[in-house]
Every structure is written in structure tokens, then in C-alpha cells.
Structure 1
Amino acid sequence: MKVLFVCIENTCRSVMAETVFNSLAKSWKAESAGVEAGKEYDGKAVEILEKRGYRVNEGRPKSLKDVNLESYEVVIAVCGESACVNVPHRNVERWYVEDPKGKGVDEYLKTLSMIEDKVRELLRRLEDESS
């Protein structure tokens, strides 16, 4: 079963959520995409994840055009920007995580902590529903 995390460019928040989810999930798999694809993953986000012990998948940002939305059971929009709230899927959840891009390390850590909490909560719900 698959989850898709979506943000604006698939460079920071959605990558963080995908990475955390895949490191904690037992029977679910996550991927991520952006409304539009950025050029590369946010270096500071990758660094923060790796310092916390997460392994970031190699790759490049993808856009929603690069994925088949119907292959995901759940789509999580981790952004509140207007372009991000209109993801066309039957089961969309919105988290409204603030974008730390271009800010200090503390903002990235705050974002990662919020994502970790939300991912743990999501996994509890998904595992309860599937058992």
C-alpha cells in the first residue's frame, strides 16, 4: 500500500515526509512529488535528515505529472500554499507544514520534528485501519 507526500517543488517538506515515513513504516511505502518539480533536493533538508539518522533516497524531484495518483491509497499535501491544496485525489489529507527553505537550521529542525510527529500519527491510523 502506498502513500504520496506532496509539496510545491518536491525538494524539502515532501522529501522529509517520504524519508521519515519509509524509515518507520512496516507494510506501507511512501513516495513524494511536487506540484511542479524543483531542480534538486534541498541540501539543508538532506543534511538535517542524515544527521538525524535517516537515509534519503537518491533521486531528483518529481512533479504530480510524473506519478499516477490513482496508485496511492492516501495523498498527503504537506503544504498550505494555494497550488498545493487542490490535489485531484479521492483521499487527500492536508498537514500545512511551513516551508523552512531559505531559513536557518532551527526552522528545518522544527519542520522535521513536526513531520516526524505527524508521520507517527498517520502510521498508527493506517496500521489500525488495515488490521
Structure 2
Amino acid sequence: MEVLFICRANVGRSQMAPAFFNRLSKKHKAVGAGTHVGNHEGEPLHPFVVQCMSEVDYDLSKNTRKQLTPEMVKNSDKIIVMTEKENLPNFVDMSKVVFWEIDDAKDKSLEFHRQIRDQIKSLVEKLVKEIE
């Protein structure tokens, strides 16, 4: 099974979630992308994301931002959306979608990023238990 994690800019939430998932899952894999990456594709992640993940032994320092594509949607079995429904392009197969309510950490503090990280980790742990 391939899980696709989506957020708006692929700078935080949809970077953290696949990192947790791919370490926890023995059978499945995950990728992440953003709905509105635009001309920021390939750019590094926000420093707070890299820092708060390194605090829990995940190195995202070389990760870069990726724009959501129809191919990613097609190749996924489950899609976890961490942004508002209206941000989704019309090519997203809604039959595969599950929404997670996780606030966007844009322009927020390092402490807020840590809270989001912990919330995502908890949800990913539950997801892995469900599908393993």
C-alpha cells in the first residue's frame, strides 16, 4: 500500500507524516506533496520543521518540497489530506481521501511546530496499526 500525505505547501505537515510512517511501517510506504508548492518546488523545508524533527531523531535537512501531481494520486492507495478541501485540485480521487485536522504551522513558533509534530506522530502511529 502507498499512502500519500498532502498539505498546502509541502514544507511541514506532509514532510513530517511520511517520515514517521516510513520508519514505523514494515509493509507499506508513504510520500508527501503540497497542493500549492508552485515555483517553490525543490526548495528546502522550513528550519523549524527540520529542527523539531531532528529533536526526535529524524533528519529532514535534505528533503525538498514537491508539488502534488495526478501521477502521485493515481499511484496512491490512501490519501491523507491535512489542508482544507477547497485547496485540493479536481484530479484528487476523493474515494481514497481521509481528512486530518492539523493546523498549518506557517508563520508559527518552534513550539507550535513541535505540537504539530507530536499530533502528526500520534495519528501516523494509529494509521500504521490499522493497516499493518
TM over 0.5, shorter chain: yes
Give the gaps of 5 or more residues in structure 1: none
Q: Number of residues paired by the alignment?
A: 127
* Distance in 1 of aligned mates of 2:72 and 2:109: 34
Distance of 1:87 and 1:79 partners within structure 2: 16
CA contact under 8 A between 2:35 and 2:89: conserved in structure 1? no
Q: Which runs of 4+ in 1 moved over 6 A?
A: none
Where do 1:1-131 residues align within 5 Å?
1-37=1-37, 38=40, 39-56=43-60, 58-65=62-69, 67-80=71-84, 82-84=86-88, 88-89=92-93, 90-127=95-132
Q: TM-score if structure 1 supplies the norm length? A: 0.86
Instruction: Give the Cα–Cα distance (whole angstroms) in 1 for the partners of residues 70 and 59 of structure 2.
Output: 23
The answer to whether the 8 Å contact 2:7/2:14 transfers is yes
Q: 1:57 Cα shift?
A: 7.1
Alpha-carbon shift at residue 103 of structure 1 (Å): 1.1
Contact 2:70 2:91 (8 Å CA) reproduced: no
- TM-score computed with the length of structure 2 as normaliser: 0.85
1:30-60 Cα deviation digits (max 9, x unpaired): 1100002244311110111011111327342
